[in-house]
A and B are shown apart, each in its own frame.
Chain A
Amino acid sequence: MSSSEISGVREPQPDPLKEYRFSEDAIAEMEEIATHYPERKAACLPTLWIAQREYGGYLTPPAIQEVADRLGLSFSEVEGVATFYTMYNLRKRGRHHLEVCTCLTCAVLGAYDIVHKLEHELGIHLGGTTSDGEFTLSEAECLDFCGAATVMQVGDKYFTQLTENNVMELIDQLRGSPDYTPAKLADAIVKIHVPLSSQTGGGSSKPEDLLLPAGPML
């Protein structure tokens, strides 16, 4: 994506190659979602989530092209949407994206202590990814679960009442789990858009797995 750092003279970049990765199930989901709106264009956000899942947790330029082509939009329009919302990943994240809420309540209850602890233990700074690709650490705005602050979101799950002392336990658990959580989050959000009856693609389709453990996602 475009860089905002100051550099020398730039030249236009070559066109990204097109690749279509949507599975048949994913296409079925997209078509189902598109029927919910008066215009196909309106299905852009959920379709980007489908893409985020199908392309392994982040939106590459070909992912954006695929969404645009499937919905009949222009590439730049879809890229505009994808870069507007921060929940779409434009770069590969770690296998677990640790999003620590540092908004008011959580901050008061020690969110930054947790952040510093994680930075120290994982050897990365905010925004960074560990060299083994396991964790990416970010700050998040209020996750709307202030009652159980401090809160951290990892993929499709919320972890609450974290402290400096218990957070590393969680990290060990996550290390042990086989999941790739950015894609799980994307899948969970797609599932919210698709009625249970027509849920097909990706991830689990058992209704009990689809309930988010804590906190409304949308």
Chain B
Amino acid sequence: MSDNRLTQTEPSLNPATADMINIKINGLDVQVPKNENLIESAKRVGVDVPYFCYHPRLSKGDAANCRMCLVEVGMPGPDGTIRMMPKPQAACTMPAAEGMVVQTDTPKIVKDRKGVLEFLLINHPLDCPICDRGGECPLQNNTLFYGPPTSRYIEEKRHYPKAYPISEHVVFDRERCIHCARCTRFTEDISGDAQLGFLKRGADMEVNTFADTEYRSKFSGNVIELCPVGALLSKSYRFKARPWDLHSQKSVCSKCSNGCNIKIDYRQDKIQRINARINEDVNEEWTCDRGKFGHDYVSSDNRLKTPMLKQNGEWMPISWTQAYALLAEKLKAAGSNSAGIGGAHLTNEDNFQFQKLFRKTLGSSNLDSRTDRVHGSETTLLSDRFGYHGMGNSIAQLQSFKSYLIVGSALADELPIIFLRVRKAYRFHGASVVSAISKKDSSSPNVGDFATVEMIYRPGTEIALLNGILNILFNENLLPSNPGVDLKGLQQSVSDWTPAKVEQETGVPAAHISEAAHILAAGTMALIAGKEIREHPHYETVVAALGNLMLATGNPENLNIPERVVNAQGAKDMGILPDLEPGYAPVAQLGKNAHEILESAAKGELQALWIAGEQILNTYHDKSLVRQALDQCPFVIVSELTMTETALLADLVLPAASFAEKDGTFTSCERRIQKIEKVFEISRDIKADWLIFSELAAMIDGSPIPFSAADIFTEIAAAITEYAGISYKSLGDGGVRWRSESSSTNTKIFTAIYTPPAKN
């Protein structure tokens, strides 16, 4: 290795292909895929080619503009002798060819690199002492290793307004920009909002948004990491720390169920910033803004630091000893007449102990982690019928279909990383996207930006729309000839859903429905259903109709109804369900679901209700029922980070640890189990939820208290077949998926009777 620079030298991303060729780099023989760019080839032999504009995940369209990557290249002539090209070549765009000879450190190249850097530094302000990038800056590093020691430039540098905000999160210091086009290509290639562009030319060239407007993107934070200089900066991290003063801990984002791999950079028990950690199977190297900038709650001043008891309407701090005594007394008295709601924000370990406390210690199965909807059993939905939970595909697979149907989902908001995969399929693999949603999403970016057809249907008419699509598929013979399923009944049932009738019912123009049907039948297709479907009053019927479409088109494995909250999938795996124990084993005695729990609490029938890390007042659709329930239930416990609106309605509030203060695992929407690790401790009196549940159980019935989250995980792996064979250690940095292959053996068409939405 020629050096150990901080930001650039990574292993090559390109897999070996069938078409490998032989080249020589600095005298070393190496086999590389044909046409691979020489920067990647050089990585294979540990030769460092410096660069700025090149990025393996961005298109090369506007690139090859920094000229930092110059190398000398020669090709064998007919007589076998090597003829060097007269000019140096840009390694980032030079494709490898058989017999090619590459020199990266000849005197000529050394001189050229010095020249390139001298030019780049002409207009660069070199204000490293006050630059956030200082210490981890590719421009500093490349100058250190390859640059000239001095500059001959004595004229005035170009000046621009110093750092000013261009978005909610990003500050722009235009003077520092070296015009590498990484940020502009990111907004065009990856996030798709195409908001940053180059204006003007020559020395006046500048990165800007259209007409100086705000840079509005759900992915704006990524450009901060991409920028090879300190031109794009984080508003929240600005001037907070020097990079060498930060500690860094690997973790997983807690803001949605995609489970982005992140690094928490912290100092003085405070999260200073969050950067993406590469996981090719999940987030590649991106994060969304909610994940990158949304974790300030961890170090918020409002964090609860001791248990709080409400007495005569007044909150008083109490000690844990008092809290436990009270809890033990009340819960023991309540016994099976107690209930627990929440868990989607807790770790698997928290949840496992949560359900143990209720099921084993208190003898109650009134548990539910699903608060954004009220539905029947999990097993009757996807898993029984298709053999998988939530998602048929992995996140990574979702970049490789020919067509997509996105139903009822503001995907970029709900599941940003899945959005990026779909966008990648569109941008780099020519996929076509059909979006169907009841309310047009006009935030930036969104699926409608690049969907071939966008169908805006009247809320509640999803089944009519799906029937309409099926009708066209049948009538125009667009379905695969051998679906392996008997489709006669289905054909019959959709036969009177003519495009005209569907247009009338749904409000979607018949021509759009037909275009959509043609796109969806054109090859492998994946369906992603979102919030509108999950919160649908006729959820199960709609899912059945979606399933029918997938069966008919020959794509039964590609139905995806991902969970949205960070560990909603894990909470269900851990049996925070009224009817299923950990691992989806049926319970002996059926408990109440979230809705029933709230109803019985509202009637005053429930003696104790524990709400674990769930702001149910905001998440549950019927707020007055929640208020009534929390009001009528004689003993409401909320374990939370801060005094939320929900917590204010409780009787006892327990200070719980955030994801940065505890160990554990989350299971993402694609069933990937990933580790989070304790980063720091804010207060001795803040406890991980699993510890609270375990200590309490120990007080009530003497159950043993596990030593660590890892211990609980071992117990989980022993208890749940799906987690068997997975150990805390084997999760590694990138996590492990449980049941990664979907095993759909379903050949049954479901009945999906359409109930028109109520007219108002």
Contact = CB atoms under 8 A, between A and B. Distances in A.
A203 B166 CA distance: 41
Contacts of A11: 164-165
Given A1-B211, A12-B167, A14-B213, A79 B197 contact: yes
Contacts of B628: none
A10 B161 contact: yes
B422 to A, nearest CB: 19
Instruction: Determine which residue in A6, A8, A10 has the highest number of CB atoms from chain B within 10 A of its CB, and name it.
Output: A10
Contact of A12 (B161, B187, B199, B213): B213
Contacts of B209: 12, 76
B108 to A, nearest CB: 33
A76 B197 contact: yes
B208 interface: yes
Interface of B: 159-161, 164-167, 184, 187-188, 193-201, 204, 206, 208-215
A80 B213 contact: no
24 contacts: A2-B199, A2-B206, A2-B212, A4-B206, A6-B161, A8-B161, A12-B166, A12-B213, A12-B214, A12-B215, A15-B211, A16-B211, A61-B210, A65-B210, A74-B188, A76-B194, A76-B195, A76-B199, A76-B208, A77-B188, A77-B194, A80-B197, A83-B199, A83-B201
B467 to A, nearest CB: 32
A12 B209 CA distance: 9
B160 A6 contact: yes
A26 interface: no
B210 A75 contact: yes
A71 interface: no
Contacts of B210: 61, 64-65, 74-76, 79
B188 A75 contact: no
A9 B167 contact: no
B212 to A, nearest CB: 4
B379 to A, nearest CB: 46
Contacts of B198: 80
Nearest to B199: A83
Nearest to B200: A83
Contacts of B199: 1-2, 76, 79-80, 83-84
Contacts of A6: 159-161
Interface of A: 1-2, 4, 6-16, 61, 64-65, 74-77, 79-80, 83-84
Which secondary structure dominates chain B's binding surface? mixed
B165 A13 contact: no
B216 to A, nearest CB: 9
Contacts of A77: 188, 194, 197
Nearest to A60: B211
A84 B201 contact: yes
A61 B199 CA distance: 13
Contacts of A14: 213
Nearest to B175: A6
Closest 10 CB pairs of A and B: A76-B197, A74-B194, A12-B214, A75-B210, A61-B211, A13-B212, A83-B199, A80-B197, A10-B164, A76-B210
Nearest to A77: B197
Nearest to A8: B161
Nearest to A73: B194
Nearest to B204: A4
B220 to A, nearest CB: 12
Which of A1, A6, A83 is packed against the most chain B CB atoms within 10 Å?
A83
